[in-house]
Chains A and B, each alone.
Chain A
């Protein structure tokens, strides 16, 4: 029963007083986001839910971070890992702001080009990808080596 599923989710991931909830993360990507945003070094509570049941996505990941309001720049950086993501800003246990992640047209720095012969893997520099959105999938085109990759081909993400 869907209702029951939602209830059990509440039990699985504890509520936070103030902070950010990143919801509807593509299943399997939450830990990458934690690395990307350096949340392991965040001194406050971080809770993670993996493979939670979801009506729209079947399975999803979820992250709750106490005492941290993600900046738009940080949200942009994680967009490729959570293109359907929703961000909830929590104040005193209430959702005060809620918005959807939008995939930017250009993704800089975050994605490591899977082509070992790409200049971005041979010189100290940022990567840069153009996002190509279609109905069923996201593709990334490297600004430098001009190769196009399915999102599933991206194996590495850079963190600070």
Chain B
């Protein structure tokens, strides 16, 4: 097989081809079914979180531990020499001399790309500002494939803050490969950016814009919810007006397709009421768990052990 991940950086979802994405998902599926607790024995992962994160950091670290590897790192740049003014380049160059692979998150856009220039060790981007978060997109694809038993030809609604949410941008871009029909549900000022819509049009992806969850909930296979943040609105009145429109409640799911599954990158605040958790449609906790297998797959692949 021509797919070779050894030594490779995973920085941007746009750099992965469809066969590469499918290969990562396949490996993740195998690891979910059959754990490999000794695969990465004697390997060390640097866990470099220049910005706080709970799920991404813990799932990267757990993924490494579950494969038998070791983890060093930090969860707060305040404890590193970044505070003394050290450049990211220098920091990663040195950390790269200690470890075999680096998982990182950084508040500045392009930080992961810059880090990849500082070291030959593979960099796994766990989020660089508003830019990319490829492992999230891969775990989203994995989850869609798992709960729908396929990836091709699905009807998928993305709901909430579509303007600023990197998660929904990357997912929309990745779904270009899988012949999806997309519904973008958002307040006018938070709709999907024009450049993404242009990209989808150029690739002949079908999509439509909506203002209410009710317009799409009964026809989709996946409802991907995201949080709308009050600070995105210049006018607090406008926020008060829209915030309740984008809340999903269990009673809205009465006429949903039986196979509908609800996803959310988490953390949720109030955009999915807790009564939804008990329905068969809720799938966001499984989604969060899947991050573990996808990150295991990536660690095994870039370290050349899978």
Contacts and interface: CB of A to CB of B under 8 A. Distances in A.
A, B assembled together:
yes
Interface of A: 115, 117-120, 122-125, 142-148
Nearest to A148: B195
B245 interface: no
A117 B108 contact: yes
Interface string B106-120: 011111011000000
Q: How large is the interface on B (under 10, 10 to 19, 20 to 34, 35 or more residues)?
A: 10 to 19
B109 A145 contact: yes
Residue with the greatest number of chain A CB neighbours at <10 A, chosen from B89, B108, B114:
B108
B109 A123 contact: no
Contact of A144 (B14, B87, B107, B113): B113
B88 interface: yes
Given A118-B108, A125-B89, 7 more contacts: A115-B109, A117-B107, A117-B130, A123-B87, A143-B110, A146-B132, A147-B131
A61 B294 CA distance: 55
B110 A146 contact: yes
B232 to A, nearest CB: 16
B56 interface: no
Contacts of A119: 88, 108-111, 113-114, 128
Nearest to B87: A123
Contacts of A118: 108-110
B113 A143 contact: yes
Contacts of B113: 119, 143-144
A115 B111 CA distance: 13
B7 interface: no
Contacts of A124: 87
Q: 9 tightest CB-CB pairs across the interface, nearest first? A: A144-B110, A145-B109, A119-B110, A145-B110, A119-B114, A144-B113, A119-B108, A117-B109, A119-B111
B12 interface: yes
B89 A144 contact: no
B68 interface: no
A95 B296 CA distance: 64
